[in-house]
Amino acid sequence: MFSPGQEEHCAPTKEPVKYGELVVLGYNGSLPNGDRGRRKSRFALYKRAKANGVKPSTVHILNTPQASKCLVRAGNSSVQSYVNHAVLFGSERSEAVNCKGQHSISYTLSRNQTVVVEYSHDNNTDMFQIGRSTEGPIDYVVTDTVSGGGDSEETPITQSTISRFACRVVCERNPPFTARIYAAGFDSSKNIFLGVESESNILQDGSLVDLCGATLLWRTAEGLFHTPTQKHLEALRQELNAARPQCPVGLNTLAFPSMQRCSRALSNVPSQEDKQPWVYLACGHVHGYHDWGHRSERDHNTQRECPMCRTVGPYVPLWLGCEPAFYVDTGAPTHAFVPCGHVCSEKSTRYWAEIPLPHGTHAFHAACPFCAIQLNLTQKWSKLIFQGPVD
């Protein structure tokens, strides 16, 4: 421990180099039950104290499936595969590739042929591994995203569709700090699929990574520089509340909830006595909560008639979008996604309304980035109409 006098004479710590961030779509700033260790809604990639990247060195082509089995252990990733009698550069060899410190990856080309690629250490790159496994080599633990941001005891537990070792990101340690993603999947013929020649594995600001159960957004350090900070979003929230918006019917003053409460919206359903703003999404008129205007008991909040303009449509609470990475500018929160009611800037709302996100394995649709709920096909967003104080 330093004394106060000693601290004053210490040289300032140099800022670590930040490559970028991976953010899981469908969460509003944090997981509903809170971020815990390596399982969280966003993961920042910083330059490591010591490079841990790897690069391919030797390629082994393995044939003769009846030969004695060899264990190939990937020392850095704990990927284990059993392969057979090695054929190296066209000549058969019986030696096993078996070394704890040797990083190796194997994949099958056909029933009778397997390829093993040995990797050597790369002093010029840092490697980060992402997947659902909680084993040590995984840097960022990602689980399936439930539409609506649900992650509670009531949420049904289903078998995860995310691979234990889903993908890895390799970042160059020197400018321009290029980040590349590495992953493989299987096509409809059950053959390994590594991409087509026209595709690039270089991550750009705004790139989306589909893990077949969760979608990640990549934001570069430069891209994040142009997004709002948590403090900026909090200032916008306070500015909205300082304008004292009022319910045009009840004339009571409305107030957007705290950022912490917004990130856990599903477990904090607004009460009738709350100052929570509600909106008629079809027209955009903002009200306080009230219990009239139902078109039917069955449709409760999906078919409400706005007392201001008589427009019929969904009636939902408004929640401020508090994940900065989902913003494409620092504009005021003036628009809401339909049908969830998450609020952000007009430019950000229009951006996500035009982005087709993976849905299952064969479909794509636009969704709210803060909760992953599919947007309405005919009306994806609504411009909010606030009434100021009458006094």
- Tell me if 331 is assigned to some domain: yes
Q: Are residues 165 and 205 in the same domain?
A: yes
Q: Are residues 92 and 112 in the same domain?
A: yes
Domain that holds residue 100: 53-122
CATH number for the domain that contains residue 20: 2.60.200.20
Q: Are residues 240 and 367 in the same domain?
A: yes
The number of folded domains in the chain is 3
The string of pLDDT tens digits covering residues 153-210 is 444 445 678 989 899 999 999 999 999 998 877 666 666 666 677 778 999 999 999 9
Closest alpha carbon to 263 in 27, 95, 16: 27
Q: Are residues 43 and 171 in the same domain?
A: yes
Q: Are residues 117 and 210 in the same domain?
A: no
Of 104, 122, 140, the residue at which a domain comes to its end is 122
- Tell me if 138 is assigned to some domain: yes
- Tell me if 209 is assigned to some domain: yes
Of 225, 254, 283, the residue at which a domain comes to its end is 225
Q: Are residues 219 and 235 in the same domain?
A: no
Q: Are residues 34 and 103 in the same domain?
A: no
Q: Are 259 and 237 in contact (CB under 8 A)?
A: yes
The string of pLDDT tens digits covering residues 286-322 is 999 887 766 666 655 678 899 999 999 999 999 999 9
Q: Are residues 127 and 116 in the same domain?
A: no
Q: Are residues 259 and 153 in the same domain?
A: no
Both tokens assigned to 376: 């309405």
Measure the CA–CA gap between 67 and 360, rounded to whole angstroms: 40
Q: For the chain, how far is it from start to end, CA to CA, in angstroms?
A: 57
- Tell me if 391 is assigned to some domain: no
Which residues lie below 8 Å from residue 94, measured CB to CB, with a gap of 6+? Answer: 67, 68, 85, 86
Q: Are residues 362 and 257 in the same domain?
A: yes
Of 206, 225, 244, the residue at which a domain comes to its end is 225
Measure the CA–CA gap between 355 and 334, rounded to whole angstroms: 20
Q: Are residues 212 and 236 in the same domain?
A: no
Global pTM?
0.81
Closest alpha carbon to 373 in 148, 126, 70, 60: 148
- Tell me if 389 is assigned to some domain: no
- Tell me if 329 is assigned to some domain: yes
Q: 3-state class of 108 per DSSP?
A: strand
- Tell me if 74 is assigned to some domain: yes
Q: Are residues 83 and 133 in the same domain?
A: no
pLDDT tens sequence for the chain (391 residues): 333 444 344 445 578 999 999 999 999 988 887 788 899 999 999 999 999 999 888 888 887 554 324 433 333 333 323 222 222 222 222 233 445 566 777 777 777 788 888 889 999 999 999 999 999 999 999 999 887 755 444 444 456 789 898 999 999 999 999 999 988 776 666 666 666 777 789 999 999 999 988 999 999 999 999 999 999 999 999 999 999 999 998 888 999 988 777 766 554 455 555 789 999 999 999 999 887 766 666 655 678 899 999 999 999 999 999 999 999 999 999 999 999 999 999 999 999 999 999 887 678 999 999 999 999 999 999 999 998 776 5
- Tell me if 259 is assigned to some domain: yes
